[in-house]
């Protein structure tokens, strides 16, 4: 082989290697982007499934224990919520909320009776962490957003343990968590929502109730929270890596443009802009997850 032939062979070989390297880098970028998108999808689906199970469980009544009798009217409502708030993981329930919510994120709390004898019940009722709730205690599943030790916002599930309250992470990379409540305003109630309102609107309706000095028992009996027929949830998540998309949405309306335009001023967090979400470095991939869960009416 002459020197010229050797140089030509080397040039051709280097060209093939260069083309192969370019293809490998492109394939690796596609794989990383797909893995990131799959992680967002898995986290969003898991979070909605967990919230949906908790909401449906809020309608649970242990008819066997009640021997067919109707539950007392003055029991607390199975649902509660807070707008633009976060929680401390060790505080009692949703008491003592904190105002430093992540992008106006909300709090959703579900309470329900246990089933089966202590200490572990019969396993049919569990809290959002998967721990069984027995008939002598009240179960709680509370969802809120807070930052972890690395400063990353995460959706947490708060529950009452054997001796204290605690909370576990459900999914990380949360940009916003919003909740609306489908209110049945018909008289008599027909179990179908007529309009969707936030927790602040429900609190205002309760504040206007004529209780005539009846105290907490009268409020529990008349509260509008017992007229909630469904719960609408919106969860905006982001991935760990920069987005591969050339252009990303400039505005995220978590409950759609119509609600966002009408309520953005009074319900923080239902509309998030690129400026609200901007952090250090390139923007990551984002996806919005929404779902509506029915709050079943308990029947014997």
User: Confidence band (pLDDT; 50, 70, 90) for 101?
Assistant: very high
pLDDT class of 225 with cuts at 50, 70, 90: very high
155-167: average pLDDT: 92
Tens of pLDDT, residues 248-287: 788 999 999 999 999 988 999 999 998 888 865 678 889 9
pLDDT at residue 281, as a whole number: 66
Please report the pLDDT score of residue 298 as a whole number.
43
Residue 120: its pLDDT value, please? Answer: 85
Least confident interval from 113-122, 146-155, 200-209: 113-122
- Average pLDDT of the segment spanning 149-177: 93
Per-residue pLDDT averaged across 178-207, rounded?
Answer: 94
Closest CA to 83 of 203, 166, 195: 203
The continuous run of DSSP H or E covering 108 comes out as: strand 107-113
How many other CB atoms sit within 10 Å of the CB of residue 100? Answer: 9
Spell out the residues 6+ positions from residue 1 whose beta carbon is closer than 8 angstroms to its own. 9
pLDDT tens sequence across 118-140: 888 888 889 999 999 998 888 99
Q: Is the pLDDT of residue 72 over 50?
A: yes
- What was the pLDDT predicted at 65? 72
Contact 200, 190 (CB under 8 A): no
Other residues' Cβ atoms within 10 Å of the Cβ of residue 56: 16
Cα angle: 35, vertex 40, 41; to 5 degrees: 95
Domain ranges of the chain: 30-294
């Amino acid at each position: 082989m002459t020197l010229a032939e050797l140089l030509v062979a080397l040039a051709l070989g280097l060209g093939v290697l260069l083309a192969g390297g370019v293809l490998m880098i492109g394939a690796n970028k596609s794989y990383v982007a797909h893995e990131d998108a799959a992680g967002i999808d898995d986290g969003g689906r898991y979070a909605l499934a967990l919230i949906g199970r908790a909401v449906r469980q809020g309608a649970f009544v242990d008819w066997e224990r009640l021997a067919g009798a109707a539950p007392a009217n003055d029991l607390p409502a199975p649902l509660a919520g807070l707008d633009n708030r976060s929680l401390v993981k060790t505080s009692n329930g949703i008491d003592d909320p904190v105002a430093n919510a992540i992008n106006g994120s909300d709090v959703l709390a579900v309470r329900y009776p246990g089933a089966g004898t202590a200490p572990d019940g019969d396993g049919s009722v569990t809290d959002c962490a998967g721990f069984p709730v027995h008939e002598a205690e009240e179960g709680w599943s509370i969802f809120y957003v807070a930052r972890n030790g690395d400063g990353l916002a995460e959706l947490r599930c708060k529950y009452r343990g054997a001796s204290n309250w605690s909370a576990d992470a459900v999914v990380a990379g949360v940009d916003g968590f919003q909740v609306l409540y489908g209110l049945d305003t018909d008289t008599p109630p027909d179990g179908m929502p007529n309009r969707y309102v936030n927790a602040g609107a429900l609190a205002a309706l309760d504040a206007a109730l004529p209780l005539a000095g009846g105290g907490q028992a009268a409020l529990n009996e008349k509260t509008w929270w017992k007229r909630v027929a469904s719960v609408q949830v919106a969860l905006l998540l982001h991935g760990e890596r920069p987005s591969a998309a050339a252009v990303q949405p400039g505005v995220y309306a978590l409950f759609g443009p119509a609600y966002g335009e009408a309520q953005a001023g009074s319900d923080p967090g239902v509309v998030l802009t690129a400026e609200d979400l901007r952090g250090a470095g390139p923007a990551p991939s984002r996806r919005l997850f929404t779902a509506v869960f029915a709050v079943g009416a308990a029947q014997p």
